[in-house]
A and B are shown apart, each in its own frame.
Chain A
Amino acid sequence: MSALSFDRVTVRYGRVTVVDDVSLTVPDGEVVGLVGESGSGKSTLARAAVGLVAPASGAITLGGEPVPTRGRHRPVQMVFQDPYSSLDPRMSIGEIVAEALPRGGSRAERRAEVARLLELVHLDPTRAGALPARLSGGQRQRVALARALAARPEVVVADEITSALDVSIQGAVLNLVRELQRELGLSMLFISHNLAVVRYVASRVAVMQGGRIVEEGPTAQVLAEPAHDYTRELLAAVPGRNAP
């Protein structure tokens, strides 16, 4: 495992600068929370990390080497926001997970690996033949996690993975994220707009606004003594804070 680093990364869509000169490090084995409003560039940063968009300038490195964005070996994996659009409706969950496995191995070995991964995310491996339509939102998101883990990643980028889920299901997915991160020692970039969620899973937090990172530090410190106005605004907006 090694650290994922963004070094002065800028991403443009046409003439619009979406990510503006961002430097951020996800240290080995830690979870970094990335918060900010929609349009602040956090999802674009995530897509840049996995090679779905190319930065206009700057470098994204993993352990000092550029993150590979071609070929089969992809050490940075991503889990998407909407589990209803991130699973191919025509493939069984077993096939979905198997597709991301590294090449090689016999059919039986691959099947065993798929079963292990499904088990890891607390899904019944005997149901690997089920289609995504048979699954609830929370279960789908767990399949998406298993797929990301299948590629044996060093870093996982989680882009708002609980915001499309009912609150009653959100908890189970967050528990799983924490459990997996601890068991496998994964590094994670955990994107969310909910500070209470980020506080629960991340050891460090970065706050993004208008394409720039305005504050970064250990979660406890940033939440207790926010240095930037926008961070304070976000903190004040957490529901339940000013409840009677």
Chain B
Amino acid sequence: MTDAAVPTAVPTAGTDAPGGRWRGLLTSPVGVAASVLLLAVLVLALVGPTVWGARADAVDTSDLLAGPSSAHWAGTDNLGRDILARVLVATRLSVALSLLAITLAVVVGLVLGSLPFLLGGGRLARLVTAGVGVAVAFPGLLLALFFAVVFGVGATGAVLAIGFAGAPVFARLTQTLVAGVAARDYVAAAQVAGVGRLRVLLRHVLPNVAEPLVVNAAIGAGSALLSFSGLSFLGLGVQSPSYDWGRLLFDGIGVIYVNPAAALAPGLAVLLAGLAFNLFGESIAKTLGVPVVAGALRVPTRRSAAPGAAAAPTPAAAPGDDDLVLDVRDLEVSFAGPHGPVRAVRGVSFGVRRGEAVGIVGESGSGKSMTALAVSQLTGDDARVEASRLQVLGADLRAPAGPQVRRLLGTSLAMVFQDPMTSFNPTRRIGRQLAEVATTHLGMGRREALDRAADRLGSVRIDDPQRRVRQHPHEFSGGMRQRAMIGMGLMGQPALVVADEPTTALDVTVQQQVLDLLADVRAADDVALVLISHDVTVVGEVCDRVLVMYAGRVVEDLPASQLSTAAQHPYTRALVAAVPSMDTDLDRPLATIPGRPVDPAHVPDGCAYAARCPLATERCRVEDPELVTSATGGRVACWHAGEPLPATAVPAAEHDTLVEAP
């Protein structure tokens, strides 16, 4: 009977405080309407009998079964009582009984659903789970009718019937949600700390599943109201002289040819109240399911020229830049935020030559991944990408991609993502997924494309490729999937491989294999490589040149060989020093970077790194340095580039103030 709504995501870490999320309910028109409607129903339930009680019970034998009139808007019943007043008075009983029933359903459901967790997953727990499963499979209304017979005809019986019939759905929902939260580390941590299971359930598990349960209870209340009216209408619910909407409907239906309003009025009441509960539930689900930021306006995706650059026709490549595979000038990527646009990338310019390997390093939120996604046109619908030049092999990516550009990107640009577990479609064979590139962009036949797929898997050192092309992604290990992903990029004739943290999810030994493979691919066909990583040592090992990004800008561009010896920017030097190597001095504390990365929504004036920089002066906090040619031939954006760092004072007992996140 209760249509369990799709459970909203279990709230995860990183969401805003709960109070703030509920407040969002009152910002959407539907939410406001539902809240007002529900409030009206509840107020009516409270005051109805007091205000209209006397009128509803006033028998008037001179005016039996009358039609609508100015005195009786919905007419009168067979004892001459005002039907509208009776409908209004019946609100209290109808709503109260439904709420009682749904409360019973939720409580029984919570207990049954939590039992498997409390029992710790033994045989008894499996028995409870199976029992609930069987009960869920039973049609709810049938169950209610069955219980109605068991508990006897009357209001009490109907409450018990609807309550118990609704319980299995809630038990199942609770079970699923509880199992999801129970797998989280904080539950394990509490158990390790010796907190008992009941206490863990009450303190950690239930509060974190409360939101989806509340949503479903609200929607369930609407369904309970309908069921209750149904039972009363069938004569199994409320009995005379008490009356609820179902009972009134039953009385009204008999005289429907004499006075249609007698049936329509209680019917309308059921409809409105049911709608109020359902809409209210749906709107909380919607409010809680969406991330906090998303209430804001969305800027449609636009790829456009930066102002001032529109006039210049874009030649295939400027003279002398013939071997530029990737040419990016003044790249800006921004998103709509609650307080105006958030600039994730703020004016990035760089070029990658044929066969060159360029690394992009930075902390989370530095804009390095956004830069890569903008190049491969994968930023998503809510991003706004602007640049004065954005070219891959001479093709302008700022205009909407025509079939030729798509084909060019499909065959000459390869992308490798961080998580090899999610970058393949789990339901399709690896070979088919690779072959798709060839059939779509190279016009190959199916047979030919599959052969090429097997050949490419072999080239990324996957053993027995003929057998492997027929396997599904889950039969591949993480490292093999990442190699297959690279193999997919090699289906065409790639000129550029963009790899976004390709080894972060992999083990060190596998990481090495993938890095070696990327190096081989690059050497074999003179392929250019853009490698994005937070680990400066990985980038330094594979790349010729390194771009260091901070707060959406390139702060240094230098040859990889100079990373540990001649880095100019204090941030680059700090990044290099922070990674322990096999030669780190064991007797000294590791170098750290104090403070935390800049939030893209709140970039300070001046140099964004100033707050964490040991060399920062007043000028750094006011004026943002340009990226200019440095003393060592690279590019650097720092007023104090290359100045010696002060002796590292280790802030031994210094407190880390908990900075308020915006």
CA distance A90 to B207 in the complex (A): 8
CA distance A13 to B656 in the complex (A): 42
Q: How many Å from the CB of B509 to the closest CB on chain A?
A: 5
| Residue from the set A37, A72, A99, A150 with the largest chain B CB neighbour count within 10 Å | A99
Return the chain A residue nearest B654 by Cβ: A122
Query: Is A15 at the interface (CB under 8 A from chain B)?
Result: no
CA distance A38 to B253 in the complex (A): 69
- Identify which of A4-12, A55-63, A78-86 touches chain B: A78-86
Contact of A244 among B14, B561, B582, B658 (CB under 8 A): B561
Q: How many Å from the CB of B74 to the closest CB on chain A?
A: 49
Q: Which residues of A contact B659 (CB under 8 A)?
A: 136
Q: Mark A229-244, 1 if CB is under 8 A from B, else 0.
A: 0000111111111111
Q: Mark A149-182, 1 if CB is under 8 A from B, else 0.
A: 0110000000000000011111110110011000
The answer to whether B535 touches A175, judged by C-beta atoms less than 8 angstroms apart, is: no
CA distance A237 to B513 in the complex (A): 9
| Residue from the set A166, A233, A235 with the largest chain B CB neighbour count within 10 Å | A166
Q: Which residues of B contact A136 (CB under 8 A)?
A: 596, 659
CA distance A150 to B189 in the complex (A): 12
CA distance A81 to B589 in the complex (A): 22
Q: Which residues of A contact B478 (CB under 8 A)?
A: 38
Chain A residues numbered 1-60 whose CB sits less than 8 Å from any CB in chain B: 37-38, 47, 50-52
Q: Which residues of A contact B657 (CB under 8 A)?
A: 124, 127
Q: Which residues of B contact A135 (CB under 8 A)?
A: 658, 661
The answer to whether A52 touches B192, judged by C-beta atoms less than 8 angstroms apart, is: yes
Contact of B188 among A38, A76, A80, A223 (CB under 8 A): A80
CA distance A193 to B507 in the complex (A): 7
Q: Which residues of A contact B650 (CB under 8 A)?
A: 175
The answer to whether A151 touches B580, judged by C-beta atoms less than 8 angstroms apart, is: no
Given A52-B188, A171-B591: A239 and B507 within 8 A (CB)? no
Chain B residues numbered 636-662 whose CB sits less than 8 Å from any CB in chain A: 650, 652-661
Q: Which residues of A contact B541 (CB under 8 A)?
A: 239-240, 242-243
Query: Is A214 at the interface (CB under 8 A from chain B)?
Result: no
Query: Is B574 at the interface (CB under 8 A from chain A)?
Result: yes
Return the chain B residue nearest A133 by Cβ: B14
Q: Which residues of B contact A107 (CB under 8 A)?
A: none
Q: How many Å from the CB of A197 to the closest CB on chain B?
A: 6
Given A89-B12, A90-B18, A242-B541: A236 and B512 within 8 A (CB)? yes
Q: How many Å from the CB of B469 to the closest CB on chain A?
A: 24
Q: Which residues of B contact A197 (CB under 8 A)?
A: 580
CA distance A197 to B660 in the complex (A): 30
Q: Which residues of A contact B534 (CB under 8 A)?
A: 166-167
The answer to whether A171 touches B185, judged by C-beta atoms less than 8 angstroms apart, is: no
CA distance A139 to B597 in the complex (A): 13
Chain B residues numbered 517-563 whose CB sits less than 8 Å from any CB in chain A: 534-538, 540-541, 560-561
Query: Is B22 at the interface (CB under 8 A from chain A)?
Result: no
The answer to whether B508 touches A237, judged by C-beta atoms less than 8 angstroms apart, is: yes
Q: How many Å from the CB of B122 to the closest CB on chain A?
A: 12
Q: How many Å from the CB of A217 to the closest CB on chain B?
A: 17
The answer to whether B509 touches A237, judged by C-beta atoms less than 8 angstroms apart, is: yes
Q: Mark B345-376, 1 if CB is under 8 A from A, else 0.
A: 00000000000000000011000000000000
CA distance A100 to B654 in the complex (A): 25
Q: Which residues of A contact B418 (CB under 8 A)?
A: none
Interface of B is mostly: loop
Q: Which residues of B contact A89 (CB under 8 A)?
A: 11-15, 208
Q: How many Å from the CB of B499 to the closest CB on chain A?
A: 15
The answer to whether A243 touches B537, judged by C-beta atoms less than 8 angstroms apart, is: yes
Query: Is B493 at the interface (CB under 8 A from chain A)?
Result: no
| Residue from the set A47, A138, A238 with the largest chain B CB neighbour count within 10 Å | A238
Given A147-B189, A178-B589: A85 and B13 within 8 A (CB)? yes
Q: Mark B311-336, 1 if CB is under 8 A from A, else 0.
A: 00000000000000000000000000
The answer to whether B658 touches A130, judged by C-beta atoms less than 8 angstroms apart, is: yes
The answer to whether B536 touches A167, judged by C-beta atoms less than 8 angstroms apart, is: yes
Q: Which residues of A contact B597 (CB under 8 A)?
A: 166, 168
Given A122-B655, A135-B658, A144-B189: A73 and B511 within 8 A (CB)? no
Return the chain B residue nearest A84 by Cβ: B13
Chain B residues numbered 8-67 whose CB sits less than 8 Å from any CB in chain A: 11-18
Q: Mark A111-140, 1 if CB is under 8 A from B, else 0.
A: 000000001001110010011111110110
The answer to whether B185 touches A237, judged by C-beta atoms less than 8 angstroms apart, is: no
CA distance A239 to B540 in the complex (A): 9
Query: Is B510 at the interface (CB under 8 A from chain A)?
Result: yes
Given A72-B194, A174-B590: A131 and B17 within 8 A (CB)? yes
Q: How many Å from the CB of A132 to the closest CB on chain B?
A: 6
Q: How many Å from the CB of A139 to the closest CB on chain B?
A: 6
CA distance A216 to B16 in the complex (A): 46
The answer to whether B656 touches A168, judged by C-beta atoms less than 8 angstroms apart, is: no
Q: Which residues of A contact B654 (CB under 8 A)?
A: 122
The answer to whether B186 touches A87, judged by C-beta atoms less than 8 angstroms apart, is: yes
Q: Which residues of B contact A234 (CB under 8 A)?
A: 508-509
Q: Which residues of A contact B239 (CB under 8 A)?
A: none
The answer to whether B592 touches A171, judged by C-beta atoms less than 8 angstroms apart, is: yes
Q: How many Å from the CB of A91 to the closest CB on chain B?
A: 8
Query: Is A196 at the interface (CB under 8 A from chain B)?
Result: yes
The answer to whether A124 touches B658, judged by C-beta atoms less than 8 angstroms apart, is: yes
Q: How many Å from the CB of A163 to the closest CB on chain B?
A: 9
CA distance A34 to B52 in the complex (A): 76
CA distance A78 to B363 in the complex (A): 27
The answer to whether A78 touches B578, judged by C-beta atoms less than 8 angstroms apart, is: no
Q: Mark B553-583, 1 if CB is under 8 A from A, else 0.
A: 0000000110000000000001100111110
The answer to whether A237 touches B12, judged by C-beta atoms less than 8 angstroms apart, is: no
Chain B residues in the interface with A (C-beta under 8 A): 11-18, 184-186, 188-195, 203-204, 207-208, 363-364, 478, 507-512, 515, 534-538, 540-541, 560-561, 574-575, 578-582, 584, 586, 589-593, 596-597, 650, 652-661
Interchain residue pairs with CB less than 8 A apart (14): A37-B507, A52-B192, A74-B193, A78-B192, A90-B208, A100-B194, A123-B655, A123-B658, A124-B655, A133-B15, A151-B194, A166-B363, A171-B578, A239-B511
Seed contacts A131-B17, A171-B578, A242-B541; 13 additional CB < 8 Å A-B pairs: A71-B194, A74-B194, A76-B192, A80-B189, A89-B11, A89-B15, A119-B655, A122-B654, A135-B658, A151-B193, A167-B578, A168-B363, A179-B652
Q: Would you list the 7 A-B pairs with minimal beta carbon distance, nearest first?
A: A86-B185, A171-B590, A240-B537, A100-B193, A37-B507, A237-B512, A80-B185
Chain A residues in the interface with B (C-beta under 8 A): 37-38, 47, 50-52, 71-74, 76-78, 80-82, 84-91, 99-100, 119, 122-124, 127, 130-136, 138-139, 142, 144, 147, 150-151, 166-172, 174-175, 178-179, 193-197, 199-200, 223, 233-244
